[in-house]
Amino acid sequence: MKRPRQTRRALLVALCLIPVIAVAAWQIIPPGRDQFATVPVTRGDIESSVTALGTLQPRRYVDVGAQASGQIQKIHVEVGDVV
């Protein structure tokens, strides 16, 4: 008769100790922190360039035309101007 009571007591003690051990281990073992490289923020231009060889093929063709007829005599912008 004493056997089941001792087994039940041992099981109860084990069930009480498992969370205590888990919390203690959680506090003692340092978490594996990811290392991130950081730099100070600066204002600047974003440049993106690709160097490649090949042939470009358009997805679709569009006819572009003007509503007015005639010839362009002067364009009032220079190369590199923002339009």
Note down pLDDT in tens along the chain; length 83 residues. Answer: 557 788 889 999 999 999 999 999 888 887 777 778 899 999 999 888 888 899 989 999 998 887 888 888 888 999 989 88
**Is residue 67 within 8 Å of residue 73, measured between CB atoms?**
no
Give the whole-angstrom CA distance, residue 60 versus residue 64: 13
Cα 78 to Cα 8, 74, 75, 81, distances in angstroms: 91, 11, 8, 6
The position carrying tokens 């056997």 is 3
- pTM greater than the 0.85 cutoff: no
